[in-house]
């Protein structure tokens, strides 16, 4: 089915990769943004507590008798306590002289992060000018704190954000699988509806399709319309040609017959008989071609009707009885009652006539042809004869166009009868099966 078609990747894979790739990028972006934002907020929290601590120390500084005195408020360090017992350092300078604290603590202006005693610390520095009776001095206070609690909080937040990002990615992947499936679905439906068609069905795709597929379906429909048109033209041509050949052939045949009556010399009579036979061959072929063209055309637009299959066969048997009588063949119709079906009467008649015609042609004289109609388990007509049966090695190919068996030598025919019967069965959703009976004779089963 797909041979000869060049494949360029898969829409499903492309869609899935785009969607899951997009989801992965989004998940990573989400992780980075949320983590940075959380880090910023946590840092702001630490900074504001450090600033409050610095301010409270600065506020406690006074000049008494010309000397700077600082009465450390208890709260200035206790507010910095953390669950991780982060270490706190401080340094207080009067102008450039260390008054108290760690002299090696880096002096910065404002807030900064520096390494101190082997770990990163956050420092906040602020200063204040004190004015006494005859003194004017600048007090500068730095408070620093390690960041163990902060990095603990940050890694907790990172873990949670990572989990959230992974969950988001999993959900987006599921969604993308679902989205891919629903996007591909209409394409699949179209493929199924085109694949399921019968070989003769060239009707346009009628089911609604998504907007993006409209140009494709429109081209498909127009292609099928053109194909149908050109098929019909060639069928018409065959029918017209067959018709044009048949009429003059009938005239030639009647002249040949008339001449045969008047000719006495045996070799001339032999020549005329061969001529008549050739004319019969040609006119049978023209007739079968005409029927075949008609059936091919009608198979697309079956003119269905409720009809009794037994009735239809009874009529056929009646019409073929004169032919059967010429060979002393008994045409025997068996049915338990009417078998009502919905089908195209002209096509069915044509198909069944061809099958009975075969039995009459290939069965020997003074034999019985049984035509059995059944409604259960499925509607079928079985035609059995007492002839030689189908040549077993050729049986599979006999329904092909213009295919004739070895046993047909010397019998007039064109090899289209079984093709016609099979096409009619297929147009009605049925089958045609050929077999040989164990006791000899051919059995053809026409099921609907
Ligand atoms: N009842 C039968 N018994 C034995 N052989 C048969 C029978 N029916 C068909 N066949 C074989 O199948 C072949 C194909 O049959 P088909 O009806 O298609 O063509 P045909 O009878 O040769 O020509 P026509 O188109 O005129 O019917 C025949 O040529 C014959 O060999
Ligand atoms: Mg035939």
Average pLDDT on 398-415 reads 93
CA 381, chain centre distance (Å): 39
Q: Looking at the domain assignment, is residue 50 inside a domain? A: yes
Among candidate residues 124, 156, 188, the one where a domain is terminated: 156
Q: Are 45 and 123 found together in one domain?
A: yes
Average pLDDT on 61-67 reads 87
Q: Are 411 and 295 found together in one domain?
A: no
pLDDT of residue 1: 56
294-336 tens-digit pLDDT: 888 788 778 889 999 999 999 999 999 999 999 999 999 999 9
How are strands ordered across the β-sheet holding 88-94? 97-101, 88-94, 136-146, 119-131, 110-116
Could you tell me the CATH number of the domain that includes residue 58?
3.30.450
> Cα–Cα distance between 100 and 88 in angstroms, integer?
14
The pTM (predicted TM-score) of the whole model is 0.58
Q: Looking at the domain assignment, is residue 100 inside a domain? A: yes
Residues of the chain above pLDDT 90, percent: 65
Q: Are 321 and 270 found together in one domain?
A: no
Q: Are 76 and 24 found together in one domain?
A: yes
Q: Are 431 and 368 found together in one domain?
A: yes
Sign of torsion, CA 25 31 34 39?
A: negative
28-59 tens-digit pLDDT: 999 999 999 998 998 999 999 999 999 999 99
pLDDT of residue 134: 82
110-160 tens-digit pLDDT: 999 999 999 999 999 999 999 888 888 999 999 999 999 888 988 998 999
Q: How far is the CA of 358 from the centre of ligand 1 (A)?
A: 5
Among candidate residues 301, 321, 350, the one where a domain is terminated: 301
Q: Are 215 and 273 in contact (CB under 8 A)?
A: no
Q: DSSP alpha helices (H): ranges in 196-265?
A: 214-262
Burial of 50 (0-12, 13-18, 19+ CB in 10 A): buried
Range of the domain at 410: 303-448
Q: Are 339 and 448 found together in one domain?
A: yes
pLDDT of residue 197: 81
Q: How far is the CA of 264 from the centre of ligand 1 (A)?
A: 35
The total number of structural domains in the chain stands at 3
Has residue 70 got a pLDDT over 70? yes
Q: Are 224 and 262 found together in one domain?
A: yes
Pocket of ligand 1 (CB under 6 A): 284, 288, 354, 358-359, 362, 385, 387, 389-390, 398, 403-405, 407-408, 413-419, 442
Cβ atoms within 10 Å of 367's Cβ, excluding its own: 17
Residue 406 CA: which ligand 1 atom is closest?
31
CA 188, chain centre distance (Å): 2
Number of the ligand closest to the Cα of 416: 1
More confident residue, 198 or 77: 77
């Amino acid at each position: 089915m797909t041979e000869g078609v060049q494949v360029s990747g898969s829409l499903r894979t492309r869609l899935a990769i785009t969607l899951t790739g997009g989801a992965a990028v989004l998940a990573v972006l989400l992780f980075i943004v949320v983590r940075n934002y959380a880090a910023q907020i946590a840092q702001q929290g630490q900074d504001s507590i450090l600033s409050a601590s610095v301010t409270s120390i600065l506020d406690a500084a006074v000049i008494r008798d010309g000397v700077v005195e600082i009465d450390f408020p208890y709260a200035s360090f206790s507010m910095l306590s953390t669950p991780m017992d982060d270490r706190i350092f401080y340094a207080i300078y009067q102008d450039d002289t260390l008054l108290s604290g760690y002299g090696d603590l880096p002096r910065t202006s404002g807030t900064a992060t520096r390494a101190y005693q082997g770990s990163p610390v956050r420092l906040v520095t602020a200063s204040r000018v004190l004015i006494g009776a005859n003194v004017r001095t600048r007090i500068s206070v730095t408070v620093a704190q390690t960041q163990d609690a902060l990095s603990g909080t940050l890694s907790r937040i990172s873990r949670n954000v990572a989990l959230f990002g992974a969950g988001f990615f999993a959900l987006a992947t599921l969604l993308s699988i679902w989205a891919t499936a629903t996007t591909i679905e209409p394409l699949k439906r179209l493929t199924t509806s085109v694949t399921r068609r019968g070989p003769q069905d060239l009707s346009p795709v009628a089911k609604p399709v998504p907007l993006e597929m409209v140009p494709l379906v429109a081209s498909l429909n127009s292609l099928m319309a053109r194909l149908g048109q050109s098929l019909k033209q060639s069928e018409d041509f065959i029918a017209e040609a067959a018709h044009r050949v048949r009429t003059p052939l009938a005239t030639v045949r009647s002249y040949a017959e008339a001449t045969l009556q008047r000719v006495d010399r045996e070799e001339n009579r032999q020549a005329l008989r061969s001529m008549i036979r050739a004319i019969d061959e040609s006119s049978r072929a023209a007739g079968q071609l005409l029927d075949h063209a008609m059936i091919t055309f009608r198979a697309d637009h079956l003119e269905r009707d409720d009809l009794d299959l037994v009735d239809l066969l009874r009529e056929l048997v009646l019409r073929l009885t004169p032919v059967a009588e010429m060979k002393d063949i008994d045409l025997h119709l068996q049915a338990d009652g009417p078998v009502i079906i919905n089908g195209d009467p002209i096509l069915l008649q044509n198909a069944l006539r061809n099958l009975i015609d075969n039995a009459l042609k290939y069965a020997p004289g003074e034999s019985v042809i049984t035509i059995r109609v059944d409604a259960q388990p499925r509607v079928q007509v079985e035609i059995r004869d007492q002839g030689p049966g189908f040549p077993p090695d050729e049986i599979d190919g006999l329904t092909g166009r213009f295919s004739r068996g070895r046993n047909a030598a010397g019998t007039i025919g064109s090899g289209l009868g079984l093709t016609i019967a099979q096409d009619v069965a297929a147009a009605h959703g049925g089958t045609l099966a050929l077999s040989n009976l164990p006791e000899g004779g051919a059995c053809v089963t026409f099921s609907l």
